Amino acid sequence: MNATPLTASQTAAPVECTLPPASERLAYRCAQIGERAFTARDYGATPIRHIVLLRFSNDVSIAAREPMIERFLRLKDECLRDGRPYIRSVEHGRQESGEGNGLGFEHAFLMTFESEGDRNFYVGEPIVRDATCFDPVHHAFKADIGPMLAPQGALVFDFFPACGDAPACPTRSG
């Protein structure tokens, strides 16, 4: 039997399935359904975690940082929707890893929201532009803390707990 080797163009290349960045997916979804639906309490009614890492500018004193950390923690009680707090929990801690991979981030916050809609209402801009569809308290906090942070001094990462790549994962739908 005489076998002819396959050329590179005839071999099956692995198909790469990559999702667009979350910011693009969320902006697209918001544009599809509108900002009111995107920030509704019952939108994506699955708990979601919101991680924020902060790195202050070197010229911001410890004395100036502490009130901002305390203010961040008070957001749980001060951010209201329909007159009630909507942030389920906020945890805070300082960088304590000895691995040397902290990239200068000093503070971590782990927040839990009951739904994507609550998280979207909290985050607001840049995706949600209608001021009636995002939290003015958090918006003011971002404006106040922003100048105190180093360049690229905030890292935000959101995820659905215990979701992974399961087909029922909310991030895998529409």
pLDDT in tens, 89-146: 999 999 999 999 999 999 999 999 999 999 999 999 999 999 999 999 999 999 999 9
Sorting pLDDT into bands at 50, 70 and 90, what band is 172? very low
Q: List the alpha helices (DSSP H) in the chain.
A: 22-33, 35-38, 62-78, 116-123, 136-145
Pick the range with the lowest mean pLDDT from 38-42, 50-54, 97-101, 170-174: 170-174
- Domain residue ranges of the chain, discontinuous segments joined by +: 22-159
- pTM (predicted TM-score): 0.83
At 165, the pLDDT band (50, 70, 90 cuts) reads: low
| CATH architecture of the domain formed by 22-159 | 2-Layer Sandwich (3.30)
